[in-house]
Amino acid sequence: MQRTDALASHFRLDLGHQKALKRLGITTVEELLYHLPARYEDTGDIQSVAGLEKGSDAVVYGQLSDLKTRKAWKSRKPIAEGYVEDGSAKIKIMWFNQPYLAKMYQDGLYVKVAGKVTGSEGKLYIANPEVERLDSLPIDRSDSIFKDTGEADDTLYPVYRETAGVTSKWFYHTVLKCFEKGVLEHLVDPIPKDVLDRYNLPELKTALVWIHSPKKATDAEAARKRFAFEEVFYIQIQNAQNKAAVNAATTYSFKTAPDHIAAFTSRFPFTLTNSQDTAITEILANFSGNHAMSRLLEGDVGSGKTAVAATTAYAVATSRPDTEKDWGNLQVAYMAPTEILAKQHFESFIEYFHHLPIQIGLITGSGCMKFPSKVDPKRPTKISRAQLLKWVKNGEIPIIIGTHALIYKSVEFKHLAYVIIDEQHRFGTNQRKQLAKKDARMPHLLSMTATPIPRTLALTIYGDLDITLLDEMPAGRKPIITKIIGPGQQNDMYEHVRSELAAGRQTYVICPRIDEPDESKATALRLKSVKAEAARLQKDVFQEYEVGILHGKMTPAEKDKTMKDFSDHKIDILVATSVVEVGVNVPNATNIIIEGAERFGLSQLHQLRGRVIRGTHQPYCFAVTESKSDKTRDRLKALATAKNGFELAEHDLQFRGSGELYGAKQSGLSDLGMEAIKNLKLVEAARSEAQGLVRRCPDPADFSRTYPLLTHKLTLLGESLHME
C-alpha cells in the first residue's frame, strides 16, 4: 500500500461513505492518515455491566432500552426507568421523582451512565444516574482490534472528528488496517531529519503510530506536537518563499522630502499620534528601498489608520515614475472588503485631498465615481465604468478606491506602485499579486486590520509581512465605559440609553441572529434575533424613537440606505447582526448594546464596541448576557479592564479555545494548527527553520528538486487555501 493510493482501491466504500469522506477532504490513504484524532479517551475507567457489584460507583457505556415511567408501588411517587446494555449484560436504571427523564432520552440511544449500584443480588440497578448522550460507543477492551496487552496504560483510544456516514470507530479501524497493509514501510518524512532532531520531534512513521494508537499519553502528546510543528512549518516555508519572491521582483523606488509630507499633514485638524508618525516614517523608508514593501498595519478601530493610508498614498500620487521625465505619476489602489467601507474611504480621501489637483476614483459592483466633478470641483460625480477604466489605464487617475471589483481583469493601471488593503486577513498578499497582474513591477503592499491578533497567529499567517502597531489612541478620546448586564439588569440599561437618546445620541443594538429561529432552538439557545428584537424595542421599550435594522441578508442598496439614514440621524436605534461592517463611522452613535455577549470572543466584542468610540461624547458599551455562570461573567469582565485589543486577543487564545479566536477561520489553520499557535516557542522554531531552509535554497525550482516531498505538501496546502 502506498500513501498516494485511493482509499477506494483498498477498502470497500459505498457511495454514502465516499461522499462523507469527500466532505472531510479524504480520498487517499495519506489524507486518511493525516485525519488526526481530535482527542483521546481512556477506557481504563470503563466497567462492563456484567462485572458491576452492589455499592460500587459505576461508569458504563451502552445503549438504552425499555424506557418508561410508572408510579411506585406503595408511595405512588413517579419513577422513570429503563435499561442500559453494553454487550456483556444489561442493568436497570431508575430515577425517582423525575418522571420527565425517561422522556428526555429514547430507546436505542448511545449513552454514558454514571451512578451508584444498589438493589439486591440478581436485582441490581443504578439509582438516579447521570446520563450523557454519545455519538457512538467507545472501542471497548474486548474489541478484537483493540489488542489488550494488559499493560495499565494500554487503554487510550482515539476519538476522530466524524461526519454523517463515517464514525470515529471506522477511522480508527481503517487506519490500523492501513498500518497492517504496510503503508508505513514506504513513507518518507518530508521534514528534514536534522530539523526533527533539534526539537526532539518523532519522525513520521513513529508519529503516525503514536497519534492513531498511542500506548501512552505522552506518546500521543509528542506526536501531536510533531504534526502541529509540521503544519506551522509548511506555512512558514510558504511565507519565506513569498518573501523571497517579493524581494526578487523589481519595484517602484522613490524618495519623498519631509517638507512635502509636512505640507500635507499640517492641514489635518489634529496632530498625528507618535505611532502614526512612526508608521508613516517606516512606510516612506520602504518606498525608497530596493524591495517592495509588505507591511501589516494593526490598530484598534479609531486609532487613525486611514490618516496613515492617506498620507502615504499622497507620497505615491505625487511621485513621478522614473521612466518619465516631466509628467505622470505613480498610482495607488485601495481595496475595501465592502461597498459601504469603500464609499466611506472615498469620502475620507476627498476630505484629505480636496485642496489638491489629485483625482480620486471609486469602483464598486454597483457603479463608479470620480472626484472632483468637472461641473462642481467640490463634489464627486458618477461616471461610467468604461470612462473610469480608461483614465486608470492611462494613469490620469492616481488614486483608485474600490471593492473586489478592483481586481477584475479589465482594470489595468499605468504605474501601480502602492496597494492598500483593508481587513482582508491572510489574503492581502494574494490580492497584490492579482492587482499587479500585468505590471512588470511589484507594488508596495500595506495591509490594514483592526482585528487584534495574538503575536503567534500574526507570526504564522502574516509571517512574510513586517508588522506596525498603532497602539495609541488619538488624544482627547474618552475611554469607553463597559458594563456587563446580567439577567434582571436590563431596565437600568434601557433607562441609561433613553437618557442618551434624549440628549441627542444614537445607539447600536447587536443581536446574534437575523430571524426568529424555530421555537425549539429559540428557547434552547435564547438568542435574540434582529427582526424580533427591533420589533420588541420599538413596541415595548423605545416607542418614541425610530428603530432600524441592518443585517447581512439585505442587498447592498438596502444596507446603504439604512446606513445613510442612521448617519443622517433619521434612525435613532440601529438593530444589527455582528456582521455590520467594521469601521462604519457614525460619530453620534455613542452607545452599543451587545445581546448574547457570551457567544462572542473578547476580541470580537472589543471590535464591536470600537464602533462607538468615534465621537467626542462619552461612549458606553453594554455586554448583555443571560448566563448565570461566574466563569462567563468573569471572562466578560476582562473587557472592562483590558488596556487594548491585543491583550483581549491573547486572553481569547489562552482561555477560550483558539478555534473561536476572531480571525481564526480566515487563517486556514486546522484545529491542531490553532492549538499549536498557543505555543510561541514552537511557532518561532518552525519559522526560523523554514527561513533557514529557504535561505539556503532560495530558487523555487531548486527547492522542489531538493525537497520534492515538502513541495508536494506545499502544493496541497496551496490548494486547500485556494478553496476557501
Nearer to Mg ion, 162 or 560 (CB): 560
Nearby residues of 665 by Cβ (< 8 Å), 6 or more positions away:
none
- Cβ-proximal residue to Mg ion, closest one: 583
Classified as helix, coil or strand, 241 is: helix
All three cell numbers of 638: 476582562
Residue 60 touching ligand ADP (CB under 6 A): no
What is the spatial distance between Cα 535 and Cα 528, in angstroms, rounded to a whole number? 11
Shortest gap between Cβ of 662 and ligand ADP (angstroms)?
16
Peptide bond into 372 cis (omega under 30): yes
Which residue(s) pair with 577 in the sheet? Answer: 511
Instruction: Tell how far CA 470 is from the center of its chain.
Output: 22
What is the spatial distance between Cα 462 and Cα 239, in angstroms, rounded to a whole number? 8
Residue 272 binds which of Mg ion, ligand ADP, none (CB < 5-8 A, kind-dependent):
ligand ADP
Residue 578 touching ligand ADP (CB under 6 A): no
Q: Report whether 441 contacts 331 (CB < 8 A).
A: no
Point out which residues bind Mg ion (CB under 5 A).
Answer: 306, 583
Residue 306 touching ligand ADP (CB under 6 A): yes
Closest to 597 (Cα-Cα) out of 528, 657, 653: 528
Nearer to ligand ADP, 413 or 462 (CB): 462
Interacting span for ligand ADP (CB under 6 A) from 305-313, 504-512, 561-569, 624-632: 305-313
The count of other CB atoms within 10 Å of the CB of residue 193 is 9
Nearer to ligand ADP, 273 or 590 (CB): 273
Nearer to Mg ion, 306 or 312 (CB): 306
Interacting span for ligand ADP (CB under 6 A) from 134-142, 295-303, 510-518, 716-724: 295-303
Residue 457 touching ligand ADP (CB under 6 A): no
Shortest gap between Cβ of 448 and ligand ADP (angstroms)?
7
Q: Report whether 422 contacts 297 (CB < 8 A).
A: no
Residue 304 binds which of ligand ADP, Mg ion, none (CB < 5-8 A, kind-dependent):
ligand ADP
Residue 312 touching ligand ADP (CB under 6 A): no
Q: Report whether 720 contacts 26 (CB < 8 A).
A: no
Nearer to ligand ADP, 279 or 461 (CB): 279
What mask of x and - would describe binding to ligand ADP in positions 263 to 282, judged by CB under 6 A? -------x-xx--x------
Nearer to Mg ion, 309 or 315 (CB): 309
What is the spatial distance between Cα 499 and Cα 480, in angstroms, rounded to a whole number? 17
Nearer to ligand ADP, 52 or 584 (CB): 584
Residue 454 binds which of Mg ion, ligand ADP, none (CB < 5-8 A, kind-dependent):
none
What is the spatial distance between Cα 677 and Cα 288, in angstroms, rounded to a whole number? 34
**Residue 56 DSSP symbol:** -
Residue 307 touching ligand ADP (CB under 6 A): yes
Q: Within 13 Å and on the Cβ side, how many CA atoms surround 267?
A: 14
Which residue(s) pair with 592 in the sheet? Answer: 508, 621
Helical spans, DSSP H, in 551-601: 556-567
Residue 474 binds which of ligand ADP, Mg ion, none (CB < 5-8 A, kind-dependent):
ligand ADP
Closest to 209 (Cα-Cα) out of 234, 229, 185, 192: 185
Residue 337 touching ligand ADP (CB under 6 A): no
Residue 303 binds which of ligand ADP, Mg ion, none (CB < 5-8 A, kind-dependent):
ligand ADP
Nearer to ligand ADP, 43 or 449 (CB): 449
Residue 302 touching ligand ADP (CB under 6 A): yes
What is the spatial distance between Cα 639 and Cα 606, in angstroms, rounded to a whole number? 7
Of these, 204, 293, 301, 686, which contacts ligand ADP (CB under 6 A)? 301
Residue 305 touching ligand ADP (CB under 6 A): yes
Nearer to Mg ion, 295 or 713 (CB): 295
Q: Residues in contact with ligand ADP, total (CB under 6 A)?
A: 16
Of these, 129, 304, 398, 463, which contacts ligand ADP (CB under 6 A)? 304
User: In the β-sheet with 381-383, what is the strand arrangement from edge to edge?
Assistant: 381-383, 367-371, 360-364, 399-402, 331-335, 416-422, 444-449, 294-299, 466-470
Q: Report whether 343 contacts 362 (CB < 8 A).
A: yes
Residue 449 touching ligand ADP (CB under 6 A): no
Nearer to ligand ADP, 583 or 668 (CB): 583
Peptide bond into 214 cis (omega under 30): no
Q: Report whether 413 contacts 430 (CB < 8 A).
A: no
Which residue(s) pair with 482 in the sheet? Answer: 621
Shortest gap between Cβ of 410 and ligand ADP (angstroms)?
29
Q: Report whether 29 contacts 7 (CB < 8 A).
A: yes
Residue 717 touching ligand ADP (CB under 6 A): no
Please, what is the Cα angle at 431 between 428 and 432, to 5 degrees? 90
Q: Which of residues 134-193 bind ligand ADP (CB under 6 A)?
A: none
Shortest gap between Cβ of 460 and ligand ADP (angstroms)?
24
Nearer to Mg ion, 212 or 345 (CB): 345
Burial class for 515, CB neighbours closer than 10 Å (0-12, 13-18, 19+): exposed
What mask of x and - would describe binding to ligand ADP in positions 464 to 503, judged by CB under 6 A? ----------x-----------------------------
Residue 276 binds which of ligand ADP, Mg ion, none (CB < 5-8 A, kind-dependent):
ligand ADP
Residue 685 binds which of ligand ADP, Mg ion, none (CB < 5-8 A, kind-dependent):
none
Closest to 385 (Cα-Cα) out of 347, 411, 359: 411
The count of other CB atoms within 10 Å of the CB of residue 540 is 9
What is the spatial distance between Cα 83 and Cα 102, in angstroms, rounded to a whole number? 11
Give the interface with ligand ADP as residue ranges (CB under 6 A): 270, 272-273, 276, 299, 301-307, 450, 474, 583, 614
